Every structure is written in structure tokens, then in C-alpha cells.
A and B are shown apart, each in its own frame.
Chain A
Amino acid sequence: MAEGRPSFKQYLKKTKIWKSIYRHDFTDTPKTRLQRVFGNVFLHLQPVRVAKDAIRVTYTWGLGGISFYLFLVLVVTGILLMFYYRPASVLAYQDIKDLSFAVTLGQLLRNMHRWAAHLMVVAVIFHMVRVFLTGAYKPPREYNWVVGVLLLVMTLFLSYTGYLLPWDQLALWAVTVGAQMAANSPILGNEGPFRLPFITTSNDARFGLIGGTVIGDATLIRFYVLHCIAVPFIFSIFLCVHLWRVRKDSFSKQTGEKVDVWPHLVSREFLAALLVTVILFAWSLLMNAPLEAEANLNVTPNPSKAPWYFVGLQELLVYFDPWIAGVVLPTLIIIGLVAIPYVDINPKGVGSWARMRWKRLGPLPIWYPEERPFAVSVFMLGIVMWFVLIFIGTYCRGPNWEWYWPWEEWSHRRITKFTLKDIPNVWGGLLLMSYFLLGSPIPQKVKAVLAQRAGPKAPVLASAALHLGLGILMSVALFVPLLTAADPGYPDRSRYPTLFESLGHAVNAPVMMALFQFVERAGPAAGYSLIAAIIGVLGLALGGLGMIFAKLKDRMYDELGLIKYTIVMSLLLMMMGVLAKIVLRLLFGVKYLISIPTFSFNI
């Protein structure tokens, strides 16, 4: 090549084609850094410059971006899978077998799609937790939090609709569990309470979901279209809104000097995507997506479990009627999540992780979030409960949904030995009423009136009387029927050795069993006085717990006002109530606190 003549590359760079694609050169100058971002439609999602602290890995852990990237992975692998998959009941299972055995890299493709879907559910949930803990939902980002909650719901629904497509037993019966919840929805479900007069199996909510009275080809094509077109379409629209709002509302963290997005943020995003790909790839090589026997409506696996992210709800079916566990509680969870930014008026804690600090509470050291103690504790309790329920449902439930420890081997021949008992409605109603009354505050005005009329100590005394009284009432309302009241369904249900047979017919749950054994060993006098003491102490403890939070409650009421306080307190009490019901059933053998079969109202 002669000197002075431009090289081929230099020539190429001068052509119109090159220029129309790249538009700028690659030297690293402040100008090109900016040009790269706003000259590119994809990168233009991001600002040109961003606060340095906002892009620290330990601030966001890249969870939102990773969720988005996993969505892209799912779209790509999903499109490739669509080439090999026919949504018909006689073909679907065979096509999945083909993917595993004959298609080049087919098994890998399916594994990646499957594991990416699971990973995306996890990433989206953790993203939500991160946003909560860094206070990134607070004004002006309330709306985007709501959009995010909708995206979470859609992520779960996307995953759920995809679960059916392999058309194996796992898929069929997991979807059956979900569809059954639709059948149990109130008003519109054929098996739910308050059913409208014209609702039958062929026009209820379940029919709408599965497109027939039984799961079949109609369901398969319905779920296929939902999974591949309808939900991703709506998801993408909401995703655009979500990302655009992030840009408009700016990042929640604004400290630190501003740095260029190219290369600082873009390189991090790229690395995160690369890392996720590597993990996903390795996971897919090591572990195959499950595929069981071909779907068969005539034979039900025992146990049939919903997809893991819904197993928590399925586990709740044990403690509540299906329409409560499957419809009301999930709706409340979503409403609660959506309500968070509107009822949380505490402006603190935006832009940094909740600062934790050790503090003494009476004799106990507690580790608590300094700036938003109430919000963070309640939210994290909810998240932990969700995962604990999933853990129980996945690892502790065997055939007939019996309790098995994770290390125990399942047996289809095991004989049930656990007995349960309904608490009579009057007692249960008393218990529930006292429980919800525990949430009532004593507003400042009332305190002032009390202090004026009966001396300065009156408000404190009134609060103590209220809480301790309610605590004792709850304890008594729980133990008295458990120990004494005869069980109306006695010979049918409690066919096993009963406790306290001299007093009534009770159950063999751990706590009751321990009490019984104590009575047997220590003799009736000592035993019964101990039980009375336990009832008293438990009542006082419950009341005391209420008293500890009394100040907080009163302050919250004064700050939030009646409406917000009612929303917060009822959601909180319902969440804690679910936890309490789990404990009551597993440890005390309480089946239902209130049971009104006419309305299928059993809680």
C-alpha cells in the first residue's frame, strides 16, 4: 500500500454507510461519551450523567437491570422455543421430548428458559425489597412503585401460564391448583361464597381462566397465547412506563459527584448481564428442567404442588378456606403493596439502605432500623413470612399435604395422627374481636379528656386496662374451649386419644400434649394450677406486647389520621393474624376460629 493513500479502514470510515450507522468516532472524549448515550435509542433510556453513589453495586445490586435482562433472555429463548413447540395436547409433550432428545441445544434452550424464569421471579421480588429498604418508593416515585407491583404480578402470571406448556403431570396439576383457586373466588366462582345466581361451572372465573370445564386443548392454547403474546405485550408496555418513570423521577440517590453514564454505568450493566448469563448457562448445563409423565387428567399426583412462588398461597389453604387463602389474601397482599407509598408518610430513609442499630428493649437487645423502624420491620416480616410459607409448602409437605420434616422420607402409607378442633364461634369471635381491638389507639384528644377528668395517671391506666384486659380475654378465649368445650364433631373427627378427657375432648397438638403430660405427671392440682398460670401469663404477655406498642400506635394515629391508620393497622393485624393462625393450627391444633359453613366462611 502506497504512502499517503488512505487505508481501507480509513476509506470505510468515510463512507456514508459507516457514518449513518456510527455517527461518531470511538475516541474517548467527553463529547463522544455523551454522544454515545443520547445518540442511541437503547442507551437513551438512561441519563447522560448520573450520581456516583447511585450506581454503586451495593446500592441497587443491579436487581432492576438484571430483572430486565432476564426478561430479554426469556424473550429470546422463548422465541427460539416457539419454533419447536405446538400447543396441542397430543403434540405438546412430544415436542418437549424432541427438544430434550433431538433438537440441537434444545435441552439447553429449555433449561435456560425455565431457570431464567425462576431467576426472574426471584430478581423481581428482591428488586422490590431493595426499593423498599432504600425508601425509593417515596414521593415522587409512588406511581412507579405501583407500576412495579403490577409488573411483579405480571411476572408471576407469565411464569404461571408458561408452567402448563410442557403438558406433563407437573404442569397440569400445578395449573389445576391455580385454576381451583379461581373456582373458589367469591361472587364469580362456581364453588365460592356469595355466588351469583347465574354462575355455573361453564361461566365462572375458572372457566374464564382455563377456557373450559376441564383443563384441555382450550386451556393449552389460551395459556400459550397469554404466555407468548398477550401478557408479554402488556408487560412490555408497563415496562416502558416503569423505565421511563425511573428516568423522569430521577434516581433515589443523588449524593456523590456526577459521572458519565458511558462508560461508568453502561460497563456495570454489561458486566452484570454477562455474569447473569454465565450463571444461567452453567445452571442450565448442570441441571435439567423437570419433565414428568404426560399429562393425565385421570390420575392426580399426591401431593400436587403449585409452582413454587404460589406454594405459599397453597400452604395457606391449610389454614383458611380456599376463597380466603386463594383470592382474598392475595388481593389483600397486592392492595397492601400498592398502598405502601400512600400510607407511609415518613419522609426519612430515601436513598440509603435502612441503617440498623442495636438497642435495648427492656432486657432484650434488639436490632432495629433506626429511621423507619415500623415500616421496615413490618415489610420484612411480610417478606420472610412469604418465603417461610414457600419453604414449608415445598419441603415440609408430603402426600396428603401431611407435615414431613425435610429430612424425612415421604410415605404414602403413613397414618395421620394429628387431630384438630374447631373453636366454637362465640369463643372464636371473642378471640378475633379482642385481637382486632388491640389495634385501637387512644388518640391525644381522648387522653387529654381523661387526664382532665381523672387525674394525670388516667391515660396510662386506661391503656394498661385496655391492653391487659384484651390480652387476658384472648388467652382465655383460646384455652377455655380447647380444654373444656366438647367438640360437636367429636366421634367423627377426633378418633384418636383425646386429652383432658375429664374436661372435654381436645386435641393432640404439641402444646396441648405437653400440658396434658404435665397434668398426668404432676397430678391434677399442680397441673391445673400451672395451666391457669400459663393462661394468665400468656394473656399478660399478649397485653404487654400491645402496651409496648401503645405509644407507637397513639403516635401513628395522630400522625396518619383515621383513614390511613385504619388501613395500616388492619393490614398489619391481618398479616400478623395469618401468622397467628399458622401457629394456632400447628402448635395448638386449632382448625378454625370461626366456622360458618353456609357462607364457606372458615378462618
Chain B
Amino acid sequence: MKRVYFLVATGLLALLFLISMWQDTDREWTRTQRRFFKTLAKDERRGLTGGIKQTIVSNLRRVDRCTTCHLAIDKPQLALAEEPFTAHPGDYLQWHPIDKFGCTVCHGGQGLATESAAAHGDVKHWEEPLLRGPLVQASCRQCHGDLPAIQAQAPLLVKGRELFKAQGCYGCHTVHEFGQTVSSDLSEIGSKSYLLLHADFEMMPEPHDRIHWFMRKLKHPRMLNPGVRPEELPAGEEEVFPTTMPDFGLAEDQIQALTVYLLSLTAHDFPASYVTPAKPEREPSYALDVERGKAVFAKFGCTACHGIEGAGGRRNWNAGLGQEVPSLMYAKAYYGNDVDRLKDLIRHGRQPVPRADAQAPQPGLYMPPWKDRISEEELDALVAYLFSLADRLPAVPPGAAQADLPQPSATVEESATSAN
């Protein structure tokens, strides 16, 4: 009887060992390589060997095994139309030789992996997803500080950065020391850990990766962060407002461009020999104070909260004045006679913002202080611009009485100053 047990167990062990050896020799990449070599003529195959290929880029701390399957990536003469045997498009490899750069440093994904799902980052616990299609432009910024020079190669990245400025994101977010601290610092948002996104991932469909999180966040900020209504909470608990990030109504291509830009804001620190530094951007000169003021308005990101050209309309939960960020159209009406108060307001900000309902929590948005960021000349220009906005107001109908004009609301003003 024991002999039978012994034989069966030994047989099983031998079988398991054979299975493991078979699994180890018949890997996904071995099949791919066989498929590729079959397409080659005998003389084409000369000099090519099988096995795991790897590029070790010690400067960048990368080991990339992508060429194990992407066998023709740097050999256009052998390339096929079918993935993964295509050649690299364009002449990028000429300027970024594989031995010096590897693959994942631009394309993302998991260089060490030798199975396609894992290598492309489509697995759990790998936080560098493959940057598919035009998203790869995000990587250019890691070395190319001088973005205008690569406008032709990375149009989305440049567009994304322009959009980031134009939408006034700097008004709340900081990127590399420039911008405000109303909301989070985005300097390293492109390598933000997924562990911090769990709560957001619960509010969006698969796939749960950084790319899709950016797209979702830009398209529907409030969907990821809808807050908690009082009726969902235990009694006595303060309600949680939805995110105060405004819905900018971005189009698909704008979202893509911004995603590329945000993906480019990584924590990677490359050796100096790889990096072309940014050229300082020349400040354009303006003939008129109003024009300069408009540029200042855009530069500091006032647009994000106060609306395009100060038209207002951005939601600010529980803020006084109709739960919105105030419009700036009436700046002249309020402060026309008292420019210094307006300047002080810009310099010192307004925090906390007067609340609509004193029992409900603080509004999320507030006017941050600008005194350390804005120069006196800029401030003068900005004021000139703000006062010029009044020209856009519809003309007072001839019959209207003086009393119908918007009056400065004394109570709100008072509470605001006392809050300061």
C-alpha cells in the first residue's frame, strides 16, 4: 500500500515538475518570438537570437524588456504591419537611441515585465500605465523644458499647457512654485499614488488608472466628488459639499490636451545630460494698461473662479451673494471711488468668505492673498482692467431711476471686512 502511495506521489511530483518546466519554456514571449521568426527569410534571420532582450539604462534606473516582443522596433527593414512587430514611427529613435533611453521612460508601462498585460501596465499594483497614442507626448516634458521648440512633435502637450493657463488653473493650483494654494499642488500630479485615489475610483467605471482619472476629473469634477448631503448623514454631522472645482465645460480634445499636460507633471528627476532647460519666456509689452491688466488677469488664473473676463457664475457652495464667486463687472461701481480698498482686497484676499447659511460649513473657494506674487505695476494694470469691465455692462435704460442700479450691499461688505 505504501509503495502505491509512494509511486503516486512521486509520479505527481514528476508531473508537476514537468508542468512547471513546460510553463517556464512556453511563455507568452517565446510564442511571440516564434511567430516573428517564422515570417523572416533565412538570411534575414542571421544575427538575430531569441530569448529575453533587455535594455539596461543605468542613468535612468530602467531595465526595459519591451524589445523581447517588439523585435523590429529599431529594424524597419524587418518590420511587419502587425503589432508587436512594427517599427517605431518617425525618426524619434535616431534622436532617442534605445540604448540611452530605453522604452518606458517615454511610453510608460512596466519595462521589467515579460507578459503583455503586465508590461503594458494593465495589471493591479503597477502605477505607470502605458501612454497610448498621443498621450505619449506627456513624456517629452520630462527633458524638453523648452516646449515651443517641440510644438510640432508634441502639439497636445503645448496646447494642454496653454489651456491650463487660459482656464486659470493657476488661480487655485500651484505647479512648480507658480500659482495659488487654494487647492492641491499639482507639481507631481502625474505620479500621484493610486492609493490616494481609491475613493475617487469608486465613483468611476473601470479602468481605474491615472489617465482615466484625469479625464473623468476634467470632464465631470463633481461626479468624482459629489459630497454628502445632510440626509445621508447621521444627525448632527456637518454636510460635505461637492468639490468646488468648477465644471469648465471642456471639449474632448481639450480634455485630452489637459490630460497630457497633467501626466507630464511627474516627480521624475533626470540627469542633467538628458535635460534641455526651459528658456525664460519674454513678457510681452502692452501699449495700454487695460491690455496689460487683461494679461495679468489671465496669468494669475483669476478666470477660473471669476469667470471669463470676470463675468462670474462659478458655483461656490454656501458663499454669500448667491453661492457664487462674485462677478467683477461691478468692480467700478463698488470701488470706483476707493481704489485702495480694491487693491487691499486683492493684496490680502478675503478669507473666510461670508457664508450664506451660518450653520453650514465653510465655502470651499476663497479669495487668496496675492501680495507676495503680484507687483505694484501689475496691480495698477489689473485695477485698470477691472474698471474697464464696466463698459461691457448693458447701458442703463434711459427711463430707469437711480435706485434701480446695483447698490453696494452694506451688510455683506461689513461682514466681509469684519471677517478679515
Of B2-10, B288-296, B327-335, B393-401, the one contacting chain A is: B2-10
Q: Which residue of A lies closest to B115 (CB)?
A: A101
A271 CB–B CB distance under 8 Å:
yes
**Across the interface, which residues of B come within 8 angstroms of A97, CB to CB?**
110, 112-113
Q: How far is the CA of A325 from the CA of B354 in the complex (A)?
A: 47
A292 proximity list for chain B (CB < 8 A): 124-125
Closest residue to A417 on the B side, CB-wise? B234
Partner of B198, one of A105, A399, A497: A399
Within 8 Å by CB of B193, from A277, A296, A413, lies A296
Which listed residue, A275, A278, A296, A417, touches B16 by the CB 8 Å rule?
A278
Q: Which chain A residues lie closer than 8 Å to B196 at the CB level?
A: 299
Partner of A101, one of B13, B118, B124, B232: B118
Cross-chain contact A102 with B65 (CB below 8 angstroms): yes
| Max chain B C-beta neighbours (<10 A), residue from A97, A101, A293 | A101
CA distance A271 to B2 in the complex (A): 8
A456 to B20 alpha-carbon distance, docked (Å): 78
CB closest chain-B residue, reference A109: B20
A267 interface residue (CB < 8 Å to B): yes
User: Which of A97, A104, A495 has the most chain B CB atoms closer than 10 A to its own CB?
Assistant: A97
Chain A interface bracket (under 10, 10 to 19, 20 to 34, 35 or more): 35 or more
Q: Is B52 an interface residue (CB 8 A)?
A: yes
Contact A496 B195, beta carbon cutoff 8 Å: no
Complex: A291 Cα to B112 Cα, angstroms:
14
Task: Count A/B pairs, Cβ under 8 Å.
Answer: 96
CB of A301 closer than 8 Å to a CB of B: yes
Name the A residues within 8 Å of B194 (CB-CB): 293
Partner of A299, one of B63, B193, B228: B193
Known: A104-B24, A302-B195. A495 touches B236 (CB 8 A): yes
Report the separation of the CA atoms of residues A104 and B203 in the bound assembly, to the nearest whole angstrom: 41
Is B114 part of the contact surface with A, judged by Cβ < 8 Å?
Answer: yes
Tell me whether B234 and A274 are in contact (CB under 8 A).
no
B195 adjacent to A291 (CB under 8 Å): no
B-contacting residues, A64-110, CB 8 Å: 90, 94, 97-98, 101-102, 104-105, 108
How far, in Å, is A554 (CB) from chain B's closest CB? 51
Contact A415 B115 (CB under 8 A): no
A279 CB to nearest chain B CB (Å): 10
Q: Indicate whether B40 reaches chain A with its CB closer than 8 angstroms.
A: no
B61 lies within 8 A of chain A by Cβ = yes
B287 within 8 A of A: no
Specify which chain B residues have a CB less than 8 angstroms from the CB of A298 in the assembled complex.
193
User: By the criterion CB–CB under 8 Å, are B195 and A90 in contact?
Assistant: no
A542 to B126, CA, bound (A): 54
Pick the residue among A101, A105, A267 that contacts B20 (CB under 8 A): A105
Q: State whether the Cβ of A411 lies closer than 8 Å to any Cβ in chain B.
A: yes
Whether, in the assembled complex, B17 has its beta carbon less than 8 Å from a beta carbon of chain A, the answer is yes
Contact yes or no, A281 B16, CB < 8 A: yes
In-complex Cβ contact of A285 among B23, B203, B235, B236 (8 A) = B23
B16 touches A301 (CB 8 A): no
Other-chain residue from B9, B124, B228, B236 in contact with A271 (beta carbon distance below 8 A): B9
- Chain B residues 1 to 59 lying within 8 A of chain A, measured CB to CB, are 2, 5-6, 9-10, 12-13, 16-17, 19-21, 23-24, 52, 54
Query: Is the Cβ of B195 less than 8 Å from the Cβ of A299?
Result: yes
How far apart are the CA atoms of A292 and B233 in the complex, in Å? Answer: 34
The answer to whether A101 touches B114 (Cβ under 8 A) is yes
List B217-233 residues whose CB lies under 8 Å from chain A.
228, 232-233
**B206 is an interface residue with CB less than 8 A from chain A:** no
Partner of A412, one of B21, B202, B236: B202
Minimum CB distance partner of B240 in chain A = A415
Task: Tell me the A271-314 residues at the B interface (CB within 8 Å).
Answer: 271, 274-275, 277-278, 281-282, 285, 291-293, 296, 298-302
Of chain B, the residue at the smallest CB distance from A497 is: B235
Residues of A within 8 A of B (CB): 90, 94, 97-98, 101-102, 104-105, 108, 168-169, 267-268, 270-271, 274-275, 277-278, 281-282, 285, 291-293, 296, 298-302, 399, 411-413, 415, 417, 495-497
A496 to B63, CA, bound (A): 54
A301 touches B195 (CB 8 A): yes
Q: Evaluate whether A274 and B114 lie within 8 angstroms (CB atoms) in the complex, with A412-B199, A412-B202, A496-B234 already known.
A: no
Other contacts beyond A97-B113, A169-B125, A293-B125: 13, CB < 8 A: A94-B63, A94-B112, A101-B65, A108-B20, A278-B9, A282-B16, A285-B19, A285-B20, A299-B195, A415-B234, A495-B236, A497-B234, A497-B235
Q: How far is the CB of B193 from chain A (nearest CB, A)?
A: 4
CB-CB < 8 A to A281: which residues of B? 13, 16-17, 20
**B237 CB contact (under 8 Å) in A101, A102, A105, A495:** A495
- For B236, list chain A residues within 8 Å (CB): 495-497
CA distance A101 to B112 in the complex (A): 7
A98→B125 CA distance, assembly (Å): 16
Which of B54, B125, B126, B237 meets A496, CB within 8 Å? B237
Q: Which residues of B contact A496 (CB under 8 A)?
A: 234-237
Of A90, A102, A275, A413, the contact of B52 (CB 8 Å cutoff): A102
Asked if A102 and B234 make an inter-chain contact with CB atoms under 8 angstroms apart, the answer reads no
A417 proximity list for chain B (CB < 8 A): 234
What are 22 A-B pairs with beta-carbon distances under 8 A?
A: A90-B61, A97-B112, A97-B113, A101-B112, A101-B113, A102-B52, A104-B24, A168-B125, A274-B9, A278-B9, A278-B13, A278-B16, A285-B19, A285-B20, A293-B127, A301-B195, A302-B198, A412-B202, A413-B199, A415-B228, A415-B234, A497-B235
Report the minimum CB–CB distance from B354 to chain A (whole Å). Answer: 26
CA distance A301 to B193 in the complex (A): 10
Whole-angstrom CA separation of A413 from B203 in the bound complex: 10
Contact between B234 and A293 (Cβ–Cβ < 8 Å)? no
Candidate in A292, A413, A496 with the most chain B CB atoms within 10 angstroms: A413
Bound Cα distance from A277 to B14, whole angstroms = 11
- Given A278-B12, A285-B20, A412-B112 contact (CB < 8 Å): no
Query: When chains A and B are docked, how far (Å) is the Cα of A98 from the Cα of B19?
Result: 21
Closest to A91 in B: B61
Q: Inside 8 A of B113's CB, which chain A residues have their CB? A: 97, 101
What B residues does A495 contact at CB under 8 A? 234, 236-237
Q: Which residues of A contact B20 (CB under 8 A)?
A: 105, 108, 281, 285
In the complex, what residues of B have CB within 8 A of residue A411's CB? 202
**Contact of B112 (CB < 8 Å), options: A90, A98, A105, A497:** A98
Render B101-130 as a binary contact track against A, CB cut-off 8 A, 1 for contact. Answer: 000000000101111001000001111000
